[in-house]
Structure formats: structure tokens, C-alpha cells
Amino acid sequence: MANGQLDIGLMGVGVMGRNLALNLADNGYTVALFDTDPEKLSGLDHPGLTGFTDLSAFTVSIRIPRAVIIMVPAGAALDMAVDTLLPELQTGDILIDAGNSNHHDTKRREAELAQQGFEFIGMGVSGGAEGARKGPAIMAGGSQQAWNRAAPMLTAIAAKYHGESCAGRMGPDSAGHFVKTIHNGIEYALMQMIADVYALLRDGAGYTPADMAPLFADLNSGYRHSYLMGITEEICRTLDPETGRPMLDIILDRAAQKGTGRWTALEAQDLGQPANLVEAALLARAVSSQDGLRREIEDAFGSGITGFDQGSVSKDDLGAGLLAGMALAFWQGLQVIEAGSREWNWDLKLTEIAKVWRAGCIISGELVSTIAAQDEPFDATRMITGPFYKEILNEGIPALRRIVILALQDGIAVPTLSGALALFDLNRTARGSANMLQAQRDFFGQHGFERMDKEGRGYHGPWAG
């Protein structure tokens, strides 16, 4: 094959990398694949794919100016891949990081590479291995110029929502990875909300996975209709081929995380934004990992769960309450994005972001599609008082309250569902309780407070201590 003929390069041929390459090839692009491990390049039986274990041969095969997708684990491995690749590239080439990188790293890389004359696209890719193969959601960040060049390929391989590509440039430098991080934070919260419902049904109402499957199928309707609800139903139906038992009953109740959920919470904290739903999901994952300790504590205290009959769980409440929780998870995540956009002067368009999330990604579904259809300028913070959210919350909050009460009375932890309620109740309370905190802070640290009856700051109380 003559040099400089292949449309794009891809470095790091794991499952995701291979699937993205096959997706590109299906869309008519020729792809050079690089991996140091020849095993990873074996069985590439698609005429559009050419494998290389030699880096120079790989880069030489790609059309100039080159575009190279890097699909390696975020962090040090990515820095190493970029360092290895750079001497083989020339200015004007575009590097595309398709991993789940921390957006602060992406910011740094983009700036460093721009100084050296290279374009860098930090690209969030959602949809897992299947999405990569059949059409992921793509959240890109970087210069407009880099996007314009890479866009034809990226929009071609992305998922389509009624024919519209779910790939987009979110904004400059690290905006793509920032948006992907918060996408994952919302993903964590939604997943845990479903797990909360599962706990209520299993431990409280004694549902088996087979009992739950039709219920989740019913719940996967209206604004709740979504990718995550769909897979939940399928998971409940699935049997373990080895034992014939429900797969869910075999899987160990210990969940890890790779970092994006934690980053969402940290970003939110740094930006001064509430993030209790992703924090609740993180709490649940952290406690889940301490399974030895959980066993000891259950032995010491008993589980406390007595259970209730299935009739106590109203399916309507479950549906409306879960929808309220889901809507609040999007509200919270979008506010973090809005705050990030302000902080870094990105001018992100929230409805454009929601449009990219309409298909291919883990949080896709009716709710996000409806958010995408709202008018710009779109104010995420105020969306909660708009007609769409009002309708969901007016019905959903009382339902959520009944579900949470049912769970809590029986000792079933539902951290994200109860967190959603706390978030809503805190927000609907015009006169909150922070005056007590301010009094305490002033009492022990003379931190000062504001008064309701006078302008200004730095007032102190006549504390005896």
C-alpha cells in the first residue's frame, strides 16, 4: 500500500479501539491501527483496516494532515502514548483522545500541543463497547478548526437520533471531556436510583428478578423510557448459563468505579454546586466495596428489614417517584455543566449537549430528548420551575416521598431516592436552616454573619462564650 493513503489512525486496539475502527471502516473510512501487541491486531478481517506494530510505518500510512485517535487508559498511559507518537507526527496533525480523561489533564495537553503546532481533541465517547461499534454519542472539545476537520468522520460514526448525528463539538479545549465527566456523574446517579428501586422491591416486597422484569418493562415508558431502564429489564430476565439461576442473584454486590463519578463530585464541589445525587451513588459504591464490614455490622445489629407485602408498593408511585428522581439528577448535572461553562468561559449550549445525549449514550432516553427540545438560551438552574419540570415534580415528589418513607421505615437504604427528596425539599425552602450554622460559626470562630434586617456583612452575636 502506498504511504499517506489511509484516512485515519487509531492507536490502542482494545475492545473499544477495535470497535471504533470497525465502525469507521463500515462508514467507508480506511483506518491504520497501531498496537505493540500483534495479538490485538489479529483477526482484523475488514478490508478498511490495516494493522501496524511499527509506529513509523503506522504514521507514514496516514494521510496528511493526519488524524490519530488514541484509545488507551486515561492518565499516564495517555501521556506516554502522546509522547511516543509526537516525534512521528508533523505540525497540523490532530490527536484525538477518545478515553475518559480528566478534563484538567485535557486542558493541559491541549494547551501544550497547541504550542507545538498540533491540534488536540479531547473526546468523550459514550455507549460502551457496543456503542463504539454501532454508534456512540461523541462529545468533542478543542478548536473549531480541529473539529471542522475531524467532524465528517466523527459525525458519520456517531449514533443517530431520527437521522441527526449525536456527535458534536461541546466547546473549546477540555469542554468535551468535562461534559463526558458530568454525563457519567448523571449516569452514576441514575444507575443508583434504579438500584434503590431494586433494593426496595427485593428486600422490602420480596420480588424476584423474574417478578421485577415486567415491572421494569412497564416503568420503561413515557419520560422514563431510556437506555438504562431497558437494560435493567433485560438484566432482570437474564439467567446464569452455568447455574440456571437469575444472573442478578449470582453477581457479587460490590461495585467499583474508574473515576468519572468521583471527578463529577469533585468538580461540582470546586464549582460550588450541589452534587448530592452523584455523591449518594458514590457512597453506595464505596459501602458496597466494604462487603466484609457490612457482613459484620449486619451480624451485630441484624438487617432490621421486616419486609412488606407487594401490594404496599404502588406502581404508580414507583413510576412517578422514580421519574422525579431522574429529572432531578439531570437538573443537578446540567447545573454543574452550566457552572463549568461560566468558570472557563466556554459558552456551552446545554440543549446542544442534550442533543448529543439523545442516542448512543448511557443516559439517553425521553427525558434528555425532551430537554434537548427546549428553547435556547436555556437556563439549567431555572428549568426546575418551568412547565416541563413542574408537571413531573408536582406529581412525582409526593410519590417519591411515599416510596422513600416506605423504604426508610423498613430500614432499606435508598440513598439517591432520599437524596433527590432532600435536594428538592432544601430548594423549596425559602427560609432555610443555615442561620443556625452561621450562628454556630460566629459563636466559636467569630466568622460573622449577615442580618435579615440590615445591609452588610460581618455582624456578630452577643454570645456569652
Q: Which residues are catalytic?
A: 180, 187
Q: Looking at 86-94, 125-133, 295-303, 435-443, which segment touches ligand 6PG (CB under 6 A)?
A: 125-133
Which residue of 48, 128, 307, 411 would you call a contact of ligand 6PG, by CB under 6 A? Answer: 128
Query: Cα–Cα distance between 296 and 104 in angstroms, integer?
Result: 40
- Residue 256 vs 464, nearer CB to ligand 6PG: 256
267 binds ligand 6PG (CB under 6 A): no
Which residue of 9, 12, 17, 127 would you call a contact of ligand 6PG, by CB under 6 A? Answer: 127
Distance of closest approach, residue 320 Cβ to ligand 6PG, in angstroms: 27
126 binds ligand 6PG (CB under 6 A): yes
Note whether 441 and 447 are within 8 A (CB).
Answer: yes
371 binds ligand 6PG (CB under 6 A): no
- Residue 52 vs 357, nearer CB to ligand 6PG: 357
Distance of closest approach, residue 362 Cβ to ligand 6PG, in angstroms: 4
**Could you tell me which residues are beta bridge partners of residue 165?**
160
- Residue 127 vs 209, nearer CB to ligand 6PG: 127
19 binds ligand 6PG (CB under 6 A): no
35 binds ligand 6PG (CB under 6 A): no
Site for ligand 6PG in 229-248 (CB under 6 A): none
- Residue 155 vs 257, nearer CB to ligand 6PG: 257
288 binds ligand 6PG (CB under 6 A): no
Distance of closest approach, residue 187 Cβ to ligand 6PG, in angstroms: 5
Q: Looking at 138-146, 253-261, 342-350, 432-440, which segment touches ligand 6PG (CB under 6 A)?
A: 253-261
* Closest of 99, 158, 134 to residue 19, by C-alpha: 134
Q: Looking at 75-83, 161-169, 258-266, 439-447, which segment touches ligand 6PG (CB under 6 A)?
A: 258-266
264 binds ligand 6PG (CB under 6 A): no
Q: Which three cell numbers stand for residue 196?
A: 434503590
Query: Cα–Cα distance between 110 and 115 in angstroms, integer?
Result: 9
- Residue 131 vs 274, nearer CB to ligand 6PG: 131
Assign 3-class secondary structure to the chain: CCCCCECEEEECCCHHHHHHHHHHHHCCCCEEEECCCHHHHCCCCCCCEEEECCHHHHHHCECCCCEEEECCCCCHHHHHHHHHHHHHCCCCCEEEECCCCCHHHHHHHHHHHHHCCCEEEEEEEECHHHHHHHCCEEEEECCHHHHHHHHHHHHHHCCEECCEECEEEEECCCHHHHHHHHHHHHHHHHHHHHHHHHHHHHHHCCCCHHHHHHHHHHHCCHHHCEHHHHHHHHHHHCECCCCCCEHHHHCCCCCCCCCHHHHHHHHHHHCCCCCHHHHHHHHHHHHHHCHHHHHHHHHHHCCCCCCCCHHHCCHHHHHHHHHHHHHHHHHHHHHHHHHHHHHCCCCCCHHHHHHHCCCCCCCCEHHHHHHHCCCCCCCCHHHHHCHHHHHHHHHHHHHHHHHHHHHHHCCCCCHHHHHHHHHHHHHCCCCCCHHHHHHHHHHHHCCCECCCCCCCCCECCCCCC
Site for ligand 6PG in 92-121 (CB under 6 A): 100
Which residue of 59, 61, 184, 276 would you call a contact of ligand 6PG, by CB under 6 A? Answer: 184
- Residue 61 vs 126, nearer CB to ligand 6PG: 126
362 binds ligand 6PG (CB under 6 A): yes
Query: Cα–Cα distance between 25 and 135 in angstroms, integer?
Result: 12
- Residue 100 vs 416, nearer CB to ligand 6PG: 100
Distance of closest approach, residue 337 Cβ to ligand 6PG, in angstroms: 15
- Residue 260 vs 341, nearer CB to ligand 6PG: 260
257 binds ligand 6PG (CB under 6 A): yes
279 binds ligand 6PG (CB under 6 A): no
365 binds ligand 6PG (CB under 6 A): no
Distance of closest approach, residue 64 Cβ to ligand 6PG, in angstroms: 31
Which residues are at the interface with ligand 6PG (CB under 6 A)?
Answer: 100, 126-128, 184, 187, 257-258, 260-261, 361-362
